[in-house]
């Protein structure tokens, strides 16, 4: 679309300039014929031709300069259009990215394609607690090699060229002299030299700030000397601003998504998250699949006698031991109140033993945090895809266990 508009502008400008060129020439010829008719015809034509040639050359130069400015303006619009696309193309489809690293990789690829002269690039994340840097994404550079380099913010181009402020885009025209001055080890320098597909000679380094904090650095690299200029610097500044907005929006969308499917108190799946993942649960006939309903039998007593803080502490303690024991191998969720639910692989005898052992683990664990014994009940039912039947069977088994073991009221 933008390319078509460029052609329309050029055609209009060409006609316009032809009119501007022809009209003065016609007037010049007419004036010459009227006021200089006394001069010999040969001298008149020679002088007139010389004047017209000088005029045409002058006007052609003006047209050339004007057309050059027009082309640069069009290229600027194309780059601005590309930069805007980074935000509007990535954010609406942020759900398609598995994690933030894959999102940043897509962002970097678009950034490299938007800046003339950029052939490679990296996004470097910062650990705010230690100022350690690590390579998160790369284009045209071996990421595994880059991650062998151990360095911090103080050793970065951005920090060194801004006196630690990290507040502007840095242009490096000749990386050879810069690399000789850094404090990396000889081996790390060799890694940085061999990691790109071609040697890097020019770099644009720009900080990415999110909510006032330094999030990371965007580096765009070239295999040519003096590949970038101040105009590229302004574009990258705008690009980094848009990138910060894109990353911020991505993080917010993931937070919303997490709240949709996770319980904020425990970090486990909530009912929505469990239902979503239950549909993808793979039944393994040789191990068997089982539905487990589990609750804290004495949570109400905790809340009444020791307060809700004690009850919340009991919930967190149980969650910690559930996650530590199964380490993501089972699908588990917190349904609220005192209720937990799990889909587990068997065999059933092993699963029952693990749950009994879990109760035993809670005896010393409760004492360590000044809680009376956390008492759990559980019900196990075979699950072969018939959800309603399995849920009713597990609920019945849970009720039977609860009736068989009275509540121990915490003191």
The total number of residues written for the chain in this structure: 411
Tell me the pLDDT band of 73, cut-offs 50, 70 and 90: low
Most confident of 235-239, 291-295, 328-332, 361-365: 291-295
Q: What is the token pair recorded at 231?
A: 């105009």
- Quote the DSSP letter at residue 38: T
Exposure b/e, 131-145, CB count within 10 A at least 16 = b? eebebbbbbbbeeeb
Which positions ≥6 away from 375 have C-beta within 8 Å? 296, 297, 298, 359, 405, 407, 408
pLDDT surpasses 80 at 131: yes
Q: Tell me which of 31-45, 152-166, 252-266, 298-312 is least confident.
A: 31-45
pLDDT surpasses 60 at 3: no
For 91-174, where are the alpha helices, taking DSSP H only? 100-114, 143-146, 157-161
Q: How far apart are CA 410 and CA 305, in angstroms?
A: 7
Q: How far apart are CA 260 and CA 306, in angstroms?
A: 31
pLDDT surpasses 80 at 42: no
Burial class (CB in 10 A: 0-12, 13-18, 19+), 193: middle
pLDDT surpasses 90 at 14: no
pTM score above 0.85: no
Residue closest to 337 by CA, chosen among 355, 314, 361: 314
Average pLDDT, the chain: 83
Provide the pLDDT for residue 5.
44
Residue with tokens 């979503």: 276
pLDDT surpasses 90 at 83: no
Tell me the pLDDT band of 48, cut-offs 50, 70 and 90: low
Q: What is the token pair recorded at 236?
A: 């990258």
Residue-wise pLDDT for 179-215, tens only, equals: 666 778 888 888 988 999 999 999 999 999 999 999 9
């Amino acid at each position: 679309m933008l390319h078509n508009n460029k052609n329309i502008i050029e055609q209009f400008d060409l006609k316009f300039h032809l009119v501007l060129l022809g009209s003065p020439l016609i007037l010049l010829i007419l004036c010459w014929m009227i006021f200089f008719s006394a001069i010999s015809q040969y001298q008149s034509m020679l002088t007139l031709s010389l004047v017209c040639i000088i005029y045409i050359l002058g006007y052609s130069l003006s047209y050339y300069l004007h057309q050059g400015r027009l082309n640069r303006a069009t290229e600027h619009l194309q780059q601005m259009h590309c930069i805007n696309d980074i935000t509007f193309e990535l954010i609406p489809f942020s759900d398609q990215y598995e994690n933030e690293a894959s999102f940043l990789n897509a962002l970097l690829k678009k950034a490299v394609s938007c800046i003339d002269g950029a052939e490679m690039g990296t996004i470097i994340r910062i650990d705010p607690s230690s100022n350690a840097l690590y390579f998160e994404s790369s284009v045209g550079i071996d990421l595994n090699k880059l991650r062998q380099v151990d360095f911090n913010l103080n050793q970065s181009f951005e920090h060194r060229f801004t006196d630690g402020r990290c507040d502007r885009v840095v242009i490096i025209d000749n990386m050879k002299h810069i690399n000789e001055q850094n404090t990396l080890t000889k081996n790390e320098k060799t890694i940085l030299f061999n990691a790109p597909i071609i040697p890097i000679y020019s770099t644009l380094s720009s900080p990415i700030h999110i909510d006032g904090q330094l999030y990371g650095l965007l580096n765009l690299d070239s295999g040519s000397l003096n590949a970038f200029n101040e105009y590229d610097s302004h574009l990258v500044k705008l690009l980094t601003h848009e990138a910060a907005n894109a990353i911020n929006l991505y993080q917010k969308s993931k937070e919303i998504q997490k709240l949709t499917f996770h319980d904020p108190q425990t970090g486990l799946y909530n009912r929505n998250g469990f239902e979503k993942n239950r549909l993808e649960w793979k039944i393994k006939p040789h191990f068997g699949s089982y539905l487990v309903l589990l609750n804290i039998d004495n949570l109400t007593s905790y809340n009444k006698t020791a307060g809700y803080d004690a009850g919340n502490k009991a919930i967190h303690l149980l969650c910690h031991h559930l996650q530590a024991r199964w380490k993501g191998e089972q699908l588990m969720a917190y349904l609220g109140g005192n209720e937990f639910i799990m889909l587990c692989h068997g065999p059933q005898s092993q699963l029952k033993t693990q749950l009994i052992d879990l109760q035993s683990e809670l005896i010393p664990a409760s004492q360590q945090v000044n809680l009376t014994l956390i008492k759990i009940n559980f019900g196990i039912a075979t699950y072969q895809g018939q959800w309603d039947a399995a849920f009713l069977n597990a609920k019945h088994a849970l009720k039977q266990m609860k009736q068989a073991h009275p509540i121990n009221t915490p003191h």
